[in-house]
Amino acid sequence: MKARITLCLICLICSPCWAEKPVFDIEIKNHLFHPSEIKIPAGTKVKLIIYNRDSTPEEFESYALNREKVIMGGRKATIFIGPLSAGTYPFFGEFNPRTAQGKVIVNEI
C-alpha cells in the first residue's frame, strides 16, 4: 500500500514532464524551411522535429530562442522550445543564412 502511494506521488510529481508536448514538423529543402512560419500557443513547451531533406548539413539556430543544433544531410533532429510569451522569434540555418530563414509566431490562447 505504502509503495503504491509512493508510486502515485512520483507519477503526480513527474506527470508535467511526461505529458505529451505538441509536436511541430519542419522540413529543410533546398536550404529553405517548410513551413517557414510556425504558430505555437504561448506558455507551452513544444517539440520541433526538423527534417533535413538536403544532402548538406545545416545548423538550426535562433538567437531569440537560444537554440542551436547541427542536422546532418538526410537526417532529423529534435529540439524543445518554450514556454514562450507572445511574439515573433526568428530562426535561421547558420550554414545557409541567406535563404534558410523562418520564424516561430507565439499567440496568446
Q: Catalog residues that contact other proteins under the rule CB under 8 A.
A: 17, 21, 43, 45, 47, 56-57, 59, 63-64, 66-67, 69-73, 75, 77-80, 82-85, 94-98
| DSSP state letters, 35-71 | SSEEEEETT--EEEEEEE-SSS-EEEEETTTTEEEEE
Indicate the residue among 4 and 78 with the shorter CB distance to other proteins: 78
In this structure, what C-alpha cell is assigned to residue 71? 542536422
CB of 66 to other proteins, least distance (A): 5
Q: How far from the centroid of its chain's Cα atoms is residue 46's Cα? A: 6
Indicate the residue among 3 and 17 with the shorter CB distance to other proteins: 17
